[in-house]
Copies of this chain bind each other. A is one copy, B any other.
Amino acid sequence: MTKDELNGEVFSGVCAKADAAARAQSDLAQADTQVKNALLHAIADALDADASTIAAANGQDMQAAAARGMDAGKLDRLRFDEPRIAASAEGVRHVASLPDPVGEIERGYTLENGLRLNQVHVPIGVIGMIYEARPNVTVDVASLCLKSGNAAILRGGHDAERTNAATLAVIHDVLVANGFDPSLIDTVDEYGREGATAMMEARGHIDVLIPRGGAGLIQAVVRNSKVPVIETGAGNVHIYVDRSGDLDKAIPIIINAKTQRVGVCNAAEKLLVHRDVAERFLPAAAKALADKGVELHADERAFAIIEAAGIPSLAMKHATDQDWDTEYLALTMGVKIVDSLDEAIDSINMHSTGHTESIISEDYSAIETFAKRIDSAVVMVNASTRFTDGGVFGFGAELGISTQKMHARGPMGLKEMTTTKWIGYGTGQVRA
């Protein structure tokens, strides 16, 4: 996915789609909330009505993927059967129920000369989405973009092409039936990988690109895109148990953060323990983790303490340098002893992907220092990292979790899919 691979015809085709989307978006941006909500309900109803068609297309994708040897975890993500389609439709209805950020006034005041200034939230424009084989993303993105007045250009990955095409056909029919331009939600799947490359070059046509998927996909987009990118999702998430940590809180939090759902970006990947509590804490933590089937990759000191505890059924390896930068997305956890709060903070800021880090501590000053100095989207204090989620945060739905600092940081809801515009209402004012 580099510029050298860029095919001129594909680039023109992708830009033409983005420009058509932009023209359609200019009308959608003016649509009243109730019109957009009615459209979303119609999409939800159509997804329910046509669930068997979409599920049949998904069946073909699943069969082809299985024949290519796709693993069970990925196959499960690819599945978009009737119950999941129904859940997606329900999600669209939920988005319809959320407050519309468009038109919300961020700041407003009147200058001394009487000029009345409003900073108003407006849609961004054309959102480009590059994602891997998760067919629900097609529906999520369509509903979030339409509600926030944005158009979307989608590249959904080869594995889910039939599913995405069937889903998009349903959405297109509803758009047309409701008097909207189907260009609002379009795909470049017909161009294959070159379509994604062209999206990254389409500066001035696509306003922002949001990759959703594995670290490889995200880094390829970040490195190659000329369109502004919002990085999402990579989560090398840390939990630090401070010397003052309440161990009765720590173990349930660690178990929840590591094992409540594996393979998600807000699951914990690393456990850092202050040396003063390591002897007391590590054997109990290792036992609880082993009971849940978690394999530990421990540094030398942690390894020695845990090994001495003689925990049956424990799986443990010596950690390598690579471990500290790895997002396992599996029942694996890196464990390390640190000599101080400062060492914990420095180590986290060096190895973290900037998603979420949690401190377990009863020490006010340690907590304040950790919360201030950790350079991540979310810092949790005595709470599970699994709470970093647009739904949990009260956004109702999320487009992804931004791990970068520009525009949006942390869970991205509808409001993060807007920009602002200043409007100055005057009566003939000129500048002195």
Q: Which residues of A contact B (CB under 8 A)?
A: 26, 29-30, 109, 111, 115, 117, 119, 124-125, 203, 207-208, 222-223, 226, 228-230, 246, 248-249, 252-253, 255-257, 260, 349, 371-373, 375-384, 386-388, 392-394, 404-407, 409-410, 419-431
Kindly name the residue among A405, A407, A427 whose own CB sees the greatest number of chain B CB atoms within 10 A: A405
Which residues from B are CB-within-8-Å of A404? Answer: 228
A208-B405, A379-B421 are known contacts; what are 8 more A-B pairs with Cβ within 8 Å? A119-B410, A256-B431, A260-B431, A377-B422, A378-B424, A383-B426, A384-B430, A393-B422
Which residues from B are CB-within-8-Å of A427? Answer: 249, 382-383
Which residues from B are CB-within-8-Å of A223? Answer: 203, 226
CB nearest neighbor in B for A253: B430
A421 to B111, CA, bound (A): 31
The reply to whether A430 and B111 form a contact with Cβ atoms under 8 Å apart is no
The reply to whether B228 and A406 form a contact with Cβ atoms under 8 Å apart is yes
Nearest CB of chain B from residue A97's CB, rounded to whole Å: 18
Contact of A425 among B111, B375, B381 (CB under 8 A): B381
The reply to whether B372 and A428 form a contact with Cβ atoms under 8 Å apart is no
Which residues from B are CB-within-8-Å of A229? Answer: 228
Contact of A379 among B222, B248, B423 (CB under 8 A): B423
The reply to whether A423 and B30 form a contact with Cβ atoms under 8 Å apart is no
Contact of A409 among B117, B252, B372, B419 (CB under 8 A): B419
Can you report 11 A-B residue pairs in the complex whose CB atoms are below 8 A from each other? A29-B372, A30-B373, A248-B428, A249-B427, A253-B428, A256-B431, A378-B421, A383-B428, A384-B431, A409-B420, A410-B421
Contact of A203 among B29, B203, B222, B378 (CB under 8 A): B222
9 tightest A-B CB contacts, nearest first: A383-B426, A256-B430, A249-B428, A405-B419, A386-B431, A407-B407, A378-B422, A383-B429, A406-B407
Nearest CB of chain B from residue A84's CB, rounded to whole Å: 21
The reply to whether B406 and A406 form a contact with Cβ atoms under 8 Å apart is yes
Nearest CB of chain B from residue A180's CB, rounded to whole Å: 17
The reply to whether B372 and A30 form a contact with Cβ atoms under 8 Å apart is yes
The reply to whether B115 and A387 form a contact with Cβ atoms under 8 Å apart is yes
A384 to B425, CA, bound (A): 11
The reply to whether A422 and B410 form a contact with Cβ atoms under 8 Å apart is yes
A409 to B423, CA, bound (A): 12
Which residues from B are CB-within-8-Å of A407? Answer: 406-407
A246 to B124, CA, bound (A): 33
Which residues from B are CB-within-8-Å of A29? Answer: 372-373
The reply to whether B377 and A424 form a contact with Cβ atoms under 8 Å apart is no
Which residues from B are CB-within-8-Å of A349? Answer: 26
Which residues from B are CB-within-8-Å of A253? Answer: 428-430
The reply to whether A115 and B421 form a contact with Cβ atoms under 8 Å apart is no
Which residues from B are CB-within-8-Å of A203? Answer: 222-223
Nearest CB of chain B from residue A381's CB, rounded to whole Å: 5
A325 to B101, CA, bound (A): 32
CB nearest neighbor in B for A411: B422
A387 to B166, CA, bound (A): 50
Nearest CB of chain B from residue A161's CB, rounded to whole Å: 30
The reply to whether A383 and B252 form a contact with Cβ atoms under 8 Å apart is no
Which residues from B are CB-within-8-Å of A207? Answer: 405-406
Q: A405-B207, A406-B407 are known contacts. Are A373 and B426 too (CB-CB below 8 A)?
A: no
A203 to B223, CA, bound (A): 9
CB nearest neighbor in B for A257: B430
